[in-house]
Amino acid sequence: MGAFETATARRSLLKGLGALAVGTSLPAKAQQLLADPGIELHPLPRVVSKGAWSDLARAMTGDLVLPNDAYFGNYSQVNNLSYSQRPAAIARCVTDADVSACLKWAHNTNTPFAVRSGGHNYAGFSTTSGLLIDMSPMAKIKADGDRVIIGGGAINVAVYRALERMGRTITHGRCEGVGAAGFLLGGGIGFNMRLYGIGSDLLRSTDLMLASGEKVTASATEHAKLLWACQGGGGGNFGVNTSFTLQTFPVSTVTVFILTWSKNQERVLYDLLHRLQEAPPGFGCKISVTPPTPQQRAQGDDIVISVMGQAHQGTPPLKELFGTLLEQADPKRTIEIDMPYWEAQDILAEEALPYFYREQSVFLKTENLTEKAVADMIATARAMPGTSLPSSFKFFQVGGEVNKLKPTDTAFVHRGFDWLFSSEVNWWELRDPPSLVSDNLVWQQQFYDKVRRLTPSGGAYQNFPDPALKDWQSAYYAENYRDLQKVKVEVDPGSLFTFAQAIKPA
């Protein structure tokens, strides 16, 4: 369940640092901001007997993996190490019947569970001390005319390769290890969204295993409200999605670019936000603002602004889109003109290695990003305490087809905006003391609160869940929350599927 994401800043940073770290207790303030999912979401109330585990193993075609079994550590690895938690067992589901058996068993034994495809949930909502339902073996992908059917356990990179063979594409992210299920169920942002809509806008049907163990297909003609709920209602709320059928589009060529600016940051950021917002729908980008780490600051480094993205065939040339900003960019740059689509995506892709992080988000309108507001963002970024790892705040460009739907047309309510803002803090426990992490998380919260006030109706992106968000119901879903509650009553009235920010029945 999970999530899309400075060319060198985010998750590709930890190669060589290793996948695990020794845990250190953070100060109380930081604990409040992170919120421990092991306490709030999936507590294991009692020890499950060996006989009960044996019953589940016999009911499954796939493997039930226990802590002493080979590869248990690999299967239980999370992406956000802030929420590392060892499950009691891992069910490696290979069929719909396996998923049904797991749900019935969890209900009968009163065992908490979580469902995982990629394990990239920012807030740890795909972790548990109970049964981890691992969907990754159910990863088949096949063409169906101009549509693609994606298994509930498939990860992004497998989807990319299948679509490349088809000569087609969808709205997709850049992080190769993210589960397609979490990406789609929470909306799904990517560079194609201004041209085709967000990922869930392309969803035509989905198969689910419900809390009862029953399999249903949600489409425009059957269980239509359930399909509506799966188009942005978030993963882990209504059932286990075992497959997704999406509309695809033919590929041609794109121009890809990665540009940076290390001077005149306030002016550059303001001009980028206002100029690029006017670009046609075939243009998509992400702007990143990366303050120096304390070590870099001591060497005299300052904030770097970067833009990466793509322009589809038929879009005006970059010189026209960027104007004088292109001339002002740093000499080191990447611009590849008219590349085959999927070859170009290899330049934009990133690897998602485990580390510690926290992310917060809000949708913004360009009209609210005044010169004063942008200058204040840069000043605030310069005041960030910083950790041993680079952190950024980012603007994902929305608009275009995303805004052609009404907020209530699907469960994804965030229409009518120009940018999705997100702020990240990254750290590594072996290098960054708890007090420093706490200082950075407090800084982040104050920065986020200030930015949210720029567009009060901006909500928050449900695929970037924030455990500290007190108004998450309205922030993620706004006026759609009541209808999502009604769907919850129909398919899971007893809230078998539950976590800290799960939709509650009406």
Q: Does the pLDDT at position 23 exceed 90?
A: no
pLDDT at position 8: 35
* 174-180 mean pLDDT: 95
Label residue 17 by pLDDT band (50, 70, 90).
very low
Burial zone of 369 (CB within 10 Å; 0-12 exposed, 13-18 middle, 19+ buried):
buried
**CA dist list (Å): 148 to 159, 201, 204, 208:** 9, 14, 10, 17
Average pLDDT over residues 312-339: 97
Reported confidence tier of residue 7, pLDDT bands at 50, 70, 90: very low
- Distance between CA atoms of 336 and 153, rounded to whole angstroms? 33
How many Å separate Cα 228 from the centre of its chain?
19
pLDDT at 45: 54
Distance from C-alpha of 199 to C-alpha of 187, rounded to nearest angstrom = 6
Average pLDDT over all residues of the chain: 92
- The DSSP annotation for 6-30 comes to -TTTSGGGGTTT-S-----PPPHHH
Task: State pLDDT tens for residues 179-224.
Answer: 999 999 999 999 999 999 999 999 999 999 999 999 999 999 999 9
Beta partners for 307?
259, 287
Mean pLDDT of 145-162: 97
β-sheet bridge partners, residue 334: 258
Q: Is the pLDDT assigned to residue 328 strictly greater than 70?
A: yes
> In the predicted model, is pLDDT for residue 26 greater than 80?
no
Residue-level pLDDT at 421: 98
Cα angle 169-171-174, degrees, rounded to a multiple of 5? 95
Higher confidence at residue 149 or residue 18? Answer: 149
Residue count (the chain): 506
For the CA atoms of 349, 354, 38, 425, what is the dihedral angle to 10 degrees? -80
The end-to-end CA distance of the chain, in Å, is 24
What percentage of the chain reaches a pLDDT higher than 90? 90
What pLDDT is stored for residue 352 in this prediction?
77
Task: Calculate what percentage of the chain has a pLDDT beyond 70.
Answer: 91
**Which has the minimum average pLDDT: 25-34, 308-317, 419-428?**
25-34
Q: Can you tell me the mean pLDDT for 63-79?
A: 95
Return the pLDDT at 9. 36
pLDDT (0 to 100) of residue 38: 40
Q: What is the pLDDT of residues 414-432, one digit of tens each?
A: 999 999 999 999 999 999 9
What's the pLDDT score for residue 351? 82
Q: What's the pTM value of the predicted model, to 2 decimals? A: 0.92
Residue 71 pLDDT exceeds 50? yes
Query: Does 13 score more than 90 pLDDT?
Result: no
Region 247-255: mean pLDDT is 97
- Residue 11 and residue 496: Cα distance in Å, rounded? 33
Query: For residue 15, what pLDDT is reported?
Result: 35
pLDDT at 353: 86
Check residue 319 and give its pLDDT: 97
Domains and CATH numbers, the chain: 253-469 (3.40.462.20)
Find the mean pLDDT for residues 311-316: 96
Residue 33 has pLDDT above 90, yes or no: no
Helix (H, G, I), strand (E, B) or coil at 417: coil
pLDDT tens digits, 371-418:
999 999 999 999 999 999 999 999 999 999 999 999 999 999 999 999
CA angle, 48 then 54 then 55, to 5°: 90
What contacts 343, CB < 8 A, 6 or more positions away? none
Is residue 43's pLDDT more than 50?
yes
